Structure 1
């Protein structure tokens, strides 16, 4: 094998190695495993990602020197190195082609929606300092960090199968508040205030409300002022399991005037249309038991994870709202996000999607345990539902 071909093959193997680890990281975070188990797995995977090229260079130094110089053939590749190298090369077509196919720039399964965006540097419009900890103060000062730049997106969202009476129905969608104590509650409180100012018919919160026990005392202050004609509804997410007893969060939200949709469907009337609002917190809590053949005119699903898209389609959901993925926390130009804790990888990291019969909106959320957002501002979604034509 020539030296040029050997170098190209080696770089392809190295890229496949990183792609394999990235894909595994995204998908392992889609499981409902206990947090400590996922953390252990991800730490091992991160260590292996960095260590494997070094280990290979040390253990097979003599072979690799000959290989890159064009003096070795494929038959002489050490067995362990050969097996893993083949796996890395297989990752290119198996993982790389779907990844490229579903890049946001190509718009596969995407719903074309009119969006009007207002970016608000929240620190400039609230009186309290938003960064409460040394970590947050340091990271929020990074010039590329958009962690306090709230994107308020007014979205005219076409919905296939939307009853005509609901054309113009307004839903304020929040997600991933992640109250850790790093960021002052005024940040999330400002998002609620702006949602109120828009005068929504319904307000939805799709999980990951709180990470640390002491922040339960903030819930009334943040969410108590929320107002919507047809009510404010919430589900919990994976980070809400970090509280000793998640019922403390549910009860605090109940006191703030919000309706807990965890693992149930609630029949109601929205805009004069017989409807069902459903909560799906799987895999961290129970899935609801819903008759897919009942005849509501409109079904709205609140799910923390976009991984429940398939479940929504099976249960004839008209509109699904989700969060969890934070838009990838960072987005590359054209390529879009890389990181996304989902069985689908970054396919549904954020945006609007349609697969019969369900339209899904995935918000980037408001915050996160990671305090850096690159080309991926926190998002308040103000959805105006439109009959798709």
Structure 2
């Protein structure tokens, strides 16, 4: 092989190495395993991300340099080096090509949902310091960080199979509040005020409310003022398991006047018709047991978009999810890279359709990581409309 061919091989292998580890990171974080187990696995693969290139430099550095300058044959490399380079090249086929196909720019499975976006600097709007911890004070001032810039997005969402009675129905969707104590609760309170001022028919909160035990005391003050004609519903997510007893979070939300939809299904008269409202907190809590599909429209609150397959099998018409934070950061054209999901960054945020389910994934309001690059926190204000199947793509 020529020297140029080896340059191409090493570039492909290096990207494949990074893609392999990013793919592992994304999918490991989609499991409902105990946090200590997931963190241990993530740390191990972070170590191998750095250690493997170092091993190549230490044990194969001179060989690689000769190949890049003079060219040569595969036999110049040791057996383990040939094996790993081959694996990294195969990753391009297994993960790389699908990853490229599902970039947002190609809009595969995306719904054409027009958005009217208003960006609010909440730090200016509330007129009090929102960064409470030293970490938050430092990171909120870093260039490009959109941590406190709330994107209020009015979305006209076409839903296949939407009943006539629900055309124009308004849902305020929030997720991933992540009360850690780093950011003042007025940030979330401002988002809920804006949601209520919009006069939605229903407010949906799809999990990850609490990260730190003392923040449970904030919940009633934040969420009690919220109001919607057909009620305010919530479920929990993986971070809500980090407190001593998640029932304390549920009790506080109940006192705030919100309806716990976690791991259950209820029928409500909405728009004059029966609608099944379903909560899915799996894999961190139990999935609900559903009766066979009937003629009622099914609206699902799921913490993770990974439950899309379950939603489709259970004839869910509209699914609302969070969990992925839009990837925390998005590159121009390429979009998100990191996303804790079995699907990688495929459903990191946006509006999608896989028959018979329309899926809306919000970027959420907060996070334990206080950096948001080209990925503002999101308050989704959804107005539902009817769509034919061919209009959903």
Q: Give TM class, smaller chain.
A: over 0.9
Q: CA deviation at 1:83?
A: 1.3
1:9-67 CA-to-partner distances (Å, cap 9, x unmatched) read 11111110001101111011000011111111111111211221111110123322332
- 1:185 counterpart = 2:185: yes
Q: Which residue of 1 aligns with 2:306?
A: 307
Query: What corresponds to 2:83 in structure 1?
Result: 83
> What is the CA distance between 1:71 and its match in structure 2?
4.7
* Deviation of 1:293 (Å): 2.4
Cα distance in 1 for residues equivalent to 2:104 and 2:254: 37
Distance 2:387 2:65 in 1: 61
Supply the distance in 2 between the matched residues of 1:287 and 1:161 (Cα, whole angstroms): 24
> Is residue 237–residue 284 contact of structure 1 (8 Å, CA) maintained in 2?
yes
1:224-263 alignment, distance < 5 Å: 224-263=224-263
Q: Is the CA contact (8 Å cut-off) linking 1:292 and 1:314 kept in structure 2?
A: no
For the residues of structure 1 that align with 2:102 and 2:78, how far apart are their CA atoms? 36
Aligned residue in 2 for 1:333: 332
Q: Distance in 2 between matches of 1:318 and 1:206?
A: 17
TM superposition shift of 1:128? 2.3
1:122-176 alpha-carbon deviations (Å, 9 max, x no partner):
0111032100001000000012000000000000100000000100000000000
- Cα distance in structure 1, aligned partners of 2:247 and 2:352: 32
2:352 equivalent to 1:343: no
After TM superposition, the structure 1 = structure 2 runs for residues 121-136 of structure 1, keeping only pairs within 5 Å, are: 121-136=121-136
Q: How does 1:153-192 map to 2 (within 5 A)?
A: 153-192=153-192
CA distance in 1, matches of 2:136, 2:163: 45
Secondary structure of 2:287's counterpart equals coil
- What residue is the counterpart of 1:105 in the other structure? 105
Aligned residues: 388
- Counterpart of 1:8 in structure 2 is 8
* Deviating more after overlay: 125-134 vs 330-339: 125-134
Q: Report the counterpart of residue 277 of structure 2 in structure 1.
A: 277
For 2:87 and 2:284, locate their aligned partners in 1 and report how far apart those are by CA, in whole Å.
31
Q: Give the gaps of 5 or more residues in structure 1.
A: none
Contact 1:292 1:316 in 2 (8 A): no
Structure 1 contact 102–108 (Cα < 8 Å) conserved: yes
Return structure 1 stretches of 4+ with deviation > 4 angstroms: none
Q: TM-score, normalised by structure 1?
A: 0.98
Aligned to 1:380: 379
Contact kept in structure 2, 1:305 and 1:325, CA below 8 Å: yes
Deviation track 1:232-280 (CA, whole Å, cap 9, x = no partner) reads 0011000001011000001110000011111110111111111100000
The match for 2:391 is none
Structure 1 residue 358: Cα displacement = 0.4
With the length of structure 2 as denominator, give the TM-score of the two structures: 0.97
SS of the equivalent of 1:60 reads helix
In structure 2, distance between residues paired with 1:47 and 1:313: 38
* d(CA) in 2 for partners of 1:265, 1:128: 40
**2:6/2:71 contact within 8 Å kept:** no
- What are the ranges of 5 or more consecutive residues in structure 2 without an aligned counterpart? 389-393
Q: Is the 8 A contact 2:331 2:374 kept in 1?
A: yes
What is the match of residue 55 of structure 1? 55
